[in-house]
Chain A
Amino acid sequence: MTVPSNVIRVLIAKVGLDGHDRGVKIVARCLRDAGMDVIYTGLHRTPEEVVAAAVQEDVDILGISILSGAHMTVFPKVIDLLKQHEAEDILLVGGGVMPDEDVGALKEIGVAEVLLQDTPPQAIVDAVRRLVEARGPR
């Protein structure tokens, strides 16, 4: 690998049918501006497509944004797929509009962090760095 190991690699994805991509693009941009390697999948992806891309790109973070209310369907699937690919070292981060009680539930099933509406760019960058540091090198 020629990429220096200290550069955090992130795959940002939109899963499901909703097209709200304002937030996800801001996230992608602020992580890129912070010096990370950022790939954005574009819209309407399936959990299978996204997990396959995350594994292939060997990312540290998989960020999935959902604003359709289908998060409790999508995230458990993604976690299962990460397990199937033995890629549980990829940290899963959620974003979008979701009720607080669902945020707790998502963290319980293994979503590393949930960043909701109006999370400032710097807080997003800090959260990603903190998560990768806590996981340690692979």
Chain B
Amino acid sequence: MIEPKQALNGMALEELEQQIAEWERNELAAFLDRQPERKAEFRTAGNIPVKRVYTALDVADIPLEDIGLPGQYPYTRGPYPTMYRGRPWTMRQIAGFGTGADTNRRFHYLIAQGQTGLSTDFDMPTLMGYDSDHPRSEGEVGREGVSVDVLDDMEALYDNIDLENISVSMTINPTAWILLAMYVALGEKRGHDPNKMSGTIQADILKEYIAQKEWIFPIRPSVRLVRDCITYCARGMKRFNPINISGYHISEAGASPLQEAAFTLCNGLTYVQEVVKTGMNVDEFAPRLAFYFVSQADFFEEIAKFRAARRVWAKIMKQRFGARRPESMRLRFHCQTAAASLTKPQYQINVVRTALQALAAVLGGAQSLHTNGMDEAFAIPTEEAMRIALRTQQIIADETNVTNVIDPLGGSYYLENLTSTYEREIFKIVDYVEENGGTIKLIEEGWFQQQVADFAYQTALGKASGDKPVIAVNKYVDPDERQDIELHPYDPETARRQIANLQRVRKERDNGKVAQLLERLKAVARDESENVMPVTIELVKAKASMGEIVEALKDLWGTYRENPVF
């Protein structure tokens, strides 16, 4: 190993210290006399204090092997040795509204525009496990995402899409295992090799209890369902990501970037512990664990966050779980620009915000990216808004040349220092959680939820005082603004169409068989050592609806009710 001190252009650290001291006494002091700085103290959006300028002194303590090279442990500089020189990130704009057929049209539009992966948003009833004709679904069917009740909906959703050649991501959590079962059934029907189907289900239930708050069952049985998805895919769907461990929603719920990264890794290691308990070797499933982070507004902080997350995960997997395969240690992540940063006033400038956040994601080494539409502070995006968002990614990929050099900001004194600060602070939180009983216990105690709520409140106060500038909201406000914006229309006939289809399917199927399979599902669910996937696949093939499958397990497990903190 090269001594870091010798790596400093031959200049001794003492010499540098002296140079800085002189600069402070001379150039800086004289300048500050004439014009003081804007603030007494500068901090990142995540409230981490930053210095005026960073020098070689600020990286002198960082072991060079912690920075390393791309595709090499601890993967600070990227999970792969060629990164975007091989191929750019997957451009994956999320879409979902109306029925399967409605969303399928949007998918084909996006593919025609050059999108390279698909991402699916489901409506609230599908996310929460209610059929479209359930009273609690009223007003929500196909509104915020696509509605899926039965296998027929999944078929329509991915109609004419080659599931072996385009990866499909599904933003689905408490009901993820049912959607996975439908996906398997669909692939089988089309004659696909399950080991060739690539894609992702989100299935990150722990962050639901912390942040996004879409849940059905109590925590422990919910985690068991996730465990079953992971082990099922490890054995029979080698290219499929059975989970997308997500910080995005933790951030959107108000967490700081540090909390986002740390809480996500806490969740990640909890899933690893749960699967290892089944006796499966860590290297058998860890390579397919995927992550998902937001890209927020603080440019360098976000890049440092991505780099630090990779480094911490690699160390956790190697040192705490004894992983041996490089694939088990390298963190791959999907990224989305920050919806919570979008504004209604002067909404066109959301394009600029999104472009900068997307650039941070790329400089941070994301594997796939969704850029938000400029109209998403109003409603789900129009085709036009999605086209501009996709073009934003294409401009970064094709015009800026930032893809030519891997981790081009690596070695920046500031960025490396901030990356190491992030590593240290993430480990502090991870260790705190472990020492206090682990992630699940602290969720039950509301600890994560309180941390998120506190930072969200601080942010709201900062926006109100102007301390946290938001252009068009608390700065450069245009009081005369008249908005003429065309929004994505909601077809009021959606629910009727969807319910008619569901009721037709219920009439045509073998109800006796469904009832029998639902009993078998309960028996399997009662036995912790069994996997719920095979019987669920049988159920969806027999055209059981998602709501029916969920209700059967509610009988067994009950439902979760949060004790809210604020």
Chain A contacts to B: CB under 8 angstroms: 16-22, 25-26, 28-30, 32, 40, 42-44, 46, 68-70, 72-74, 97, 99-100, 116-118, 120-122
Contact = CB atoms under 8 A, between A and B. Distances in A.
A7 to B, nearest CB: 19
Contact of B139 (A16, A30, A116): A16
Interface in B541-566: 561-564, 566
A118 B473 contact: yes
Interface stretch (B109-117, B295-303, B400-408, B456-464): B456-464
A63 to B, nearest CB: 13
Given A30-B460, A70-B140, 17 more contacts: A17-B125, A17-B136, A17-B137, A19-B212, A25-B457, A29-B453, A42-B561, A42-B562, A43-B562, A69-B140, A69-B379, A70-B143, A73-B139, A74-B139, A99-B379, A116-B344, A121-B460
Nearest to B378: A99
B480 interface: no
Interface in B142-174: 143-144
A29 B566 contact: yes
Contacts of B340: 22
Contacts, number: 97
Given A29-B457, A97-B377, A100-B483, A19 B213 contact: yes
B226 interface: no
Most A Cβ at <10 Å: residue of B139, B208, B464, B483: B139
Contacts of B143: 68-70
Complex A-B, nearest 10 residue pairs according to Cβ-Cβ distance, in ascending order: A19-B213, A73-B139, A17-B124, A70-B139, A120-B464, A25-B566, A42-B564, A69-B143, A26-B460, A22-B254
5 contacts: A42-B564, A43-B562, A68-B144, A70-B138, A118-B470
B464 A22 contact: no
Given A97-B378, A99-B487, A73 B566 contact: no
B490 interface: yes
| SS of B interface (majority) | loop
B383 interface: no
A43 B344 CA distance: 25
Contact of B130 (A17, A68, A116): A17
A2 to B, nearest CB: 25
A46 B144 CA distance: 19
B124 A117 contact: no
Interface in B191-221: 208, 212-215
A108 B262 CA distance: 46
A109 B107 CA distance: 38
Interface in B473-513: 473, 483, 487, 490
A21 B564 CA distance: 10
B128 interface: yes
Contacts of A19: 208, 212-215
A74 to B, nearest CB: 7
A16 B457 contact: no
B356 interface: no
Contacts of A121: 460-461, 464
A118 B463 contact: yes
Contacts of B208: 19
Given A16-B124, A116-B344, A118-B473, A28 B566 contact: yes
A16 B213 CA distance: 12
Nearest to A123: B464
A72 B139 contact: yes
A21 to B, nearest CB: 6
A18 B213 CA distance: 8
B127 interface: yes
A17 B122 CA distance: 12
A4 B220 CA distance: 44
Contacts of A43: 213, 562, 564
A121 to B, nearest CB: 5
Nearest to B470: A118
Most B Cβ at <10 Å: residue of A20, A22, A97: A22
A18 B456 contact: no
Most B Cβ at <10 Å: residue of A44, A73, A74, A117: A44
Contacts of A42: 561-564
B563 to A, nearest CB: 8
Contacts of A25: 453, 456-457, 564, 566
B250 to A, nearest CB: 11
Given A22-B254, A97-B378, A121-B461, A17 B562 contact: no
A130 B138 CA distance: 33
Contacts of A120: 460, 463-464
A137 B140 CA distance: 37
Contacts of A20: 213, 253
Nearest to A72: B139
A68 B379 CA distance: 9
A111 to B, nearest CB: 16
Contacts of B130: 17
Interface string B358-379: 0000000000000000000111
Contacts of A118: 343-344, 463, 470, 473
Contacts of B124: 16-18, 68, 70
